[in-house]
Amino acid sequence: MPTLRVLLVEDSEDDALLLIRLLKQSQYEITVERVETADEMKACLDNATWEIIIADYSLPSFSGMEALGIAKRYDPDIPFIVVSGTIGEDIAVSAMKAGAQDYLMKDNLTRLLPTIERELEEAEVRRNKKQTEAALHHSEEQYRRIVETAREGIWIIKQDQTTAFVNRKMAQMLGYTVEEINGISIFAFISEADQPTVTERLQQPIRDNASNGADQLEVRLQCKDGSYIWTIMSLTPHLGPDGTYQGALVMLTDITQRKQTETALAWELEVNAALAQLSQNLIQKVSLDDISMLVLEQALRLTGAEFGYVGYIQPETGFLVCPTMTRDIWASCEVPNKDNIFEAFGGLWGWVLENQEPLLTNSLTDDERSTGTPQGHIPIRNFLSAPAIMGANLVGQIALANNPQGFRDLDLDLVKRLAALYALAVEHKRAEATRIRLAGIVESTDDAIIGKSLEGIITSWNAGAEQMYGHQAAEVVGKHISILSPPGFEDEIDAILDFIQSGQAITRYETTRARKDGTIIQVALTISPVRAADGTISGVSTISRDITERKAMENERVEKEKLRVALEKEKELSELKSRFMSIISHEFRTPLAVIGTTSELLIHYWDKLSPADREKEYSKIQAQIDHLGKLLDDVSTVTKANTGYLQFNPKPVDIRTYFQRLVEQTRATIGSRHQFRLDVADPLGDVI
């Protein structure tokens, strides 16, 4: 890394630190000595060699102009730059006339490093020029040794501007040999754009500042391979005894790298300004179509492309929408049935979208990804495109075509940066539209939507909440949510907040709340945690729906259902009673008939019956009486069932005996008209 010794004439330590920090950003290894007085400055100039001096215009003990005078007395060629916070234009001009190379304002030091680079080069030119001129005065041989070893190009031209001499350095700068340049006009190498300026200077050789080398121009020279280099051209006319122009000594320094750096810096500043303007438009209320057009305008201007488009992906369909096409290239494009909405992707632009990767090609015919252009399409010579991606989602595209000089990697980097910014714009506009839509939903819904902090402080209150609870937003925002809790429900709020902080949501929780007028209402709550961008829980959102009327209707339905069930039961019991009475009527007739028949038998045939037969007939009468008693017990059972006092007490029964009695009762009732046979498995045992 080359070294650079800087003498800094500055009384402010803060300003000095700022300048030193800027100097350390250069390509040099910096050595800085700061002085504040004339004596300190003289001592530094006596004891060391300095390559550049930077001086404040106003100092407590002496001025920048005095410092300039001291510097020029020590070394007239040392670059001297004035910096000031208050210097006026007239003072700056005076300083330049006195020998200062440049002046800068302290509040705008962006030109400091380029200025130092330029002045170091020009100082070298001046030194070499002086050495060359001194050598000419001593001897031709010494002159030749100097010019052949000089770091700058030296070119001597005749009165007709043809070449009398060039040194090897000059020939090397242009890629020629010395022999190839000798005898050829210098204008054969000067770019057409710079020839008028050089001609004007050569046609006016007698100038007040001609002898001090002030005739310095920035001139482009064409090399043997067709490329151009930037040079600082210093013209020193040769005058004859009569003062007429005889030719000139031309010294040239290659500043191509510096110019490229300056161009790149200027381009970067322009890019940053364009990006800043676009960023500003993101927060303004402009449409996505307008933002697309602004992005395209900047991309075309900064890259030099002739055509292009900027479009976004419709999230609902996946189609590419290009609103910018209708403004620039629509009239020039003769593709049949053209549209600015593309449902299918093809060609190079489609490759960019399908692969979500940028693309640069200056030779479409050699690019295997190219499928050509459709009939009527604008001719495409070169192409550059970058997808606009947000996260993992494709949201749009920037595509440019037909750069006269061909696209550069710098152009691709620019378009990628624009695409990233465009992706932010698309997402911002979509998020804004979603927010507006959701805000409209929140304000138009009948449900109460309430935002709260984790401590339960109300932070938002929609129109539905105003209607449901009777409180205006201004009355409750900033207050605790417990103002909605009726007596006895205070602990419920804390329990809900604690549960939500665990990260879980509550769905359809039915509870009771109090309106502003004290009315108690039934509500169904859906309570969810609100998360910040980093995923932490920052608040609580509650959606409350008034279900008072629904609950009342549900209660009414329950009561109606109870009444219906009771009526059905009553109807069933009534039917059972009717059936029971019919059965009882039948059942009572049967034993009574048996008793009647048996009694007649005993009355008419008493004398003819043996005691055993009489006992048997009496047993029949007693059995029927017992049966009637059981029937009366059944009636009592039905009554108990009707009144709800029935108890079930099962007892074991001998099934054989039960059926034998049943057969005897039936035979006694119907007489001998039918025959009965009873078959019972043996043993059968008791049945409950």
CA angle 377, 382, 384 (to 5 degrees): 100
Which pLDDT score is estimated for 503? 85
Distance CA 497, CA 490 (A): 12
Q: CATH topology of 3-110 equal to that of 558-686?
A: no
CATH topology classification for 446-546: Beta-Lactamase (3.30.450)
Task: Give every CB contact of residue 263 below 8 A, 6+ residues apart in sequence.
Answer: none
Question: Average of pLDDT values for 24-46?
Answer: 89
pLDDT on residue 548: 87
- Average pLDDT of 592-621? 80
Give the residue among 104, 110, 413 at the shortest CA–CA distance from 269.
110
Check whether 211 has a pLDDT greater than 50: no
Which secondary-structure segment (H or E) carries 123?
helix 112-138
Q: Give yes or no for a contact between 57 and 82, defined as CB atoms under 8 angstroms apart.
A: yes
Per domain, the residue ranges of the chain are 3-110, 145-257, 264-437, 446-546, 558-686
Q: Which of 113-127, 136-150, 320-334, 389-403 has the lowest mean pLDDT?
A: 136-150
CA distances 76 to 72, 89, 100, 127, 623, Å, are 4, 24, 10, 10, 157
Whole-number pLDDT of residue 639: 65
> Considering only the top CATH level, what class is 264-437?
alpha beta
Per-residue pLDDT, 438: 64
Task: Give pLDDT tens digits for 274-295.
Answer: 777 777 766 665 788 888 888 8
Burial 527-563 (b: 16+ CB within 10 A, else e): bebeeeeeeeeebbbbbbbbbeeebeeeeeeeeeeee
| Mean per-residue pLDDT over the chain, rounded | 82
Return the CATH number of the domain spanning residue range 558-686.
1.10.287.130
Residue % of the chain over a pLDDT of 70: 84
Compute CA distances 261 → 109, 230, 231, 351, 496, whole Å.
Answer: 17, 12, 14, 34, 64
Q: CATH code for 145-257?
A: 3.30.450.20
- What percent of the chain has pLDDT above 90? 16
d(CA 354, CA 473): 50
Single-letter code of the amino acid located at 307:
F
Least confident of 211-225, 311-325, 489-503, 514-528: 211-225
Written as six digits, the tokens of 406 are 């061909």
- CATH top-level class for 3-110? alpha beta
Lowest mean pLDDT: which of 164-168, 346-350, 400-404, 608-612? Answer: 608-612
Q: Would you call 375 exposed, middle or buried from its count of C-beta atoms within 10 A (0-12, 13-18, 19+)? A: exposed
